[in-house]
Amino acid sequence: QNMLFVGVFGPKGPCDEVYVKHAGRNTYNVSYLVRERGEYLVIVKWGEDQIPGSPFKVDV
C-alpha cells in the first residue's frame, strides 16, 4: 500500500510545517507554512513515484 509524500523546499532548505490530511477517496488536503519570501518547490509523490507535474514551483 502506497503513501502520499509531500515535501516543500525553499531558499533556506526544507519547510518544517507541512500538513497532509486524507479528505476521502483519492483526495488529500495539503497545507504548509513558510516564513520567508522566495521560490519554493513542492514535491508530491505517491509511494516512490512522482505525480505528474511534480515538482511544482511556487513563488511566495
Where do the domains of the chain lie? 4-59
Q: What is the band of 59 on the pLDDT scale with cuts at 50, 70, 90?
A: very high
Measured distance CA(30)–CA(18) in Å, rounded: 7
Q: What CATH topology corresponds to 4-59?
A: Immunoglobulin-like (2.60.40)
Reported as a single tens digit per residue, the pLDDT across 15-35 is: 989 999 999 988 999 999 998
Q: Per DSSP, what are the bridge partners of residue 2?
A: none
Instruction: Specify the pTM.
Output: 0.85
40 in Cβ contact with 58 (< 8 Å): yes
